[in-house]
Structure 1
Amino acid sequence: MSVLVAFLLLWGLSLSPAPEAAIAMETRPNLWAEAESLLEPWANVTLMCQARLETLDFQLFKNGVCQEHVHLDLVTTEHRFPLGAVTGDTRGLYRCRSGMDERWTELSNLLEVNGAESPPPPLLSSEPVSWITPGLTTILVCRGGFRGVTFLLRREGDDQFLEVAEAPEDVQATFPVQRAGNYSCSYRTHAAGAPSEPSAPVVIEELAAPPPPTLSVDGESAQVFLPGADITLVCVAPLSGVEFQLRRGEEVLLVPRASTSPDRIFFQLKAVASKDGGLYTCRYRLGNERTAWPWSADSEPAELLLSDETLPAPELSAEPATLRPAPGALVQLRCRAPRAGLRFALVREDAGRRRVHSLQSPAGAEARFELRDVSLLDSANYSCVYADTAPPFEGSAPSARVELRVDGPLPRPQLLPLWRGAVSPGHDAVLRCEGHVPQVTFELLRAGETVATVHGADHSSADLVLTYVGPQHAGNYSCRYRSWWPTPFLSQLSNPVELQVAGS
């Protein structure tokens, strides 16, 4: 393997131009403490940084500041940082990272060195999900700071429940979960030693059936197609290695399928006919057809509206009649057909893409679609179609387009700090950027430079995290949101928020 290919693999990249072909690889190192004697764990401590791949460079950080940079003569996957006896100068929150050619991995897990009689709390997490259901083995993973300790798992309100696991060669232990409840874990370095502070609790729910997957067509919950089109529906489950099923109503559809990852399936509908319109759902179950485990709840439906364009086009009009409404106005788009009993779709077109804005089945011959609090984001060409959902399943040609243009700036976001006072060095600082638009990219800026980003947020707000804060993070921050497609836009900056770091 060439040095270039090895380096690309290290960073989770590939030589393929297709983004979906990129190789995902964990690069974050592991960091733990090794005591000369677990009877006196803080008397002589060494921090071990374990890289994912061989490297020449390691860095050790304390409280957000680099303490040591080591460049080795021979490649290795591990490096030891001796601390010795823990004192006031060496207490703190540590991370490490590894690198190559001045490129660095992300920071390791957080390790607290407190030198106290009671060791710092471990971290408890659930895998692969935080619920139990027939057929699924859920485990709790308790990770401590020292290698070779004994882990204790407890369930809130159950004095009789105590699971013990020894990890002589590891820094974590796993516990299978059979019952719902609030769990926490701790550890002790030796039999007579005081247990650590308990971890933050993890809630395990018991579900009669697994939670629903999501189903979409072209990334949307509904689309309009001509008969004869090939359509792909994507079903995504909250965990991997499951069996999927596509349904229309109560009918199970046996159609071609493909998969690019174990948590999703692509259902392929070939050359659809007008009768194939309607609501589709998907579900999944653990195991396979030979098991009796329950199916998940059904996904929210995805709707296919098939229109053969044989019926007369509807008429689309706007109220108020102006097609350049003021920002914040209410615009009503009225789609009128020759008769009642039809399914209507309002279609939005911009940047060459058509997508369904909303659907209605009114009692009369007219559907009224409302655009509330319009902004620049509502600027687009709109049309509407209708289709008969009963035989012979005919549909209309699209209406004439209505071009809607809204001028003016985008609503300004608001930035909120999710902490009080000064942030302690070594901890994370979380700022919530509240915008007004979902499916955008949120950016956190300091002195005009982007320092944190959240892409494609599902909601109109996002939490932007400054990881492992040190004195160098102090300053004023603001946020904005943007999109490059289908209509490029960039919001104004939010109000500034000052981040103060304790001790700086």
Structure 2
Amino acid sequence: MSVSGTKPILQEAVVSILLLMVVSLGAQRASLPKPILSLDPPSSVILLGEDYTLVCHFPLTRCNVELYKGFKDRVSAANEVDYTAAFKVTAALPSKGKNSYTCKYQKFYERNLTWAYSPISDPVQFNVADELPKPSVSVEPASGVLSVGDQVHINCTTCYPSRLSRLYRERDGLIIDTQNTSESVRTVIFTIKELEPMDGGAYSCNVVKTVLGKVYVSPRSDFVEFNVTDELPRATISVQPPFGVVSSGTLIRLTCTGAILNSGGLFYFYRDGETRGTIHVSGSVPSASFIVNDLISAGKWSFNCGYSRRVRQTAYYSPPSEAVQVTVTDFNGTSDSFPNVLCVGAIVLLWIISILGTE
């Protein structure tokens, strides 16, 4: 027997022992553990004509259970049931408004010819209504500030189980998305991808439910707002070797990092303001590297980079990165090679003169 299966039996055994002790002490009425009443499925609102189930939970077998509206009016009962008693109810017009239900149970112990009674449960409360409650709405990212090509999540949350949710754009009142979900889902996430500046603005949502052929539509939620800018986050650039000082003819690696989309994009590399290379990346690859192999003369150069996104056939470009400086030195460690050439020439000339003089 499983552990979960033995738990109710152990509970009943403990309760029975306690009752025997109470009876042996001469008590007239023994008290059972307090039951728990729940609404299935959980909800704070029930629509007119809708069926719902109230379930009374208790730790014993062969009990008589009573369901009450409020604390006094008995509306249903179940006899000789084990651990739970389920009561199916239909929301009728007389029940419109606030409803409260409780339950209690009792058990007869044949060995002692004794009845034991439970306290009444805590109440379950809900409203029976002829309209759906207003849902709430939120946006991610919470700042509501996005760049072109980003995506936004709009969360529509309801306290009532419904299968159909709609998203509205406030400026024209159009339904721009509809989702069908399980009734167990209380928050529906609407995602708008590849945002453009025209997508910014205010949005709201509502939910729809059909009961016995009647369609209930909730009021629209309050609206959330977000803005879409056509300026992309600025690119960053790094150089390897990290200090940007190399000998003549040494390869250097420039790495550009930017906010690339899942659809990919382009990286651009510039030297002293002129384009020196482009690299296409697919997927959300955040960076690309560019090899510079033509710096054979001593001197100083400035490099920076940028990237672009293509959103719905339109290209958008980031601001250029801050510049990095690269210094190329000759083999003697200087960044100006012309004086060194003169020195080498003078040494060679003196060597030739010395040879001619000895002859």
TM-score by length of 1: 0.36
Which one has the bigger helix percentage?
A: 2
Which structure has the larger Rg over C-alpha atoms?
2
TM-score by length of 2: 0.48
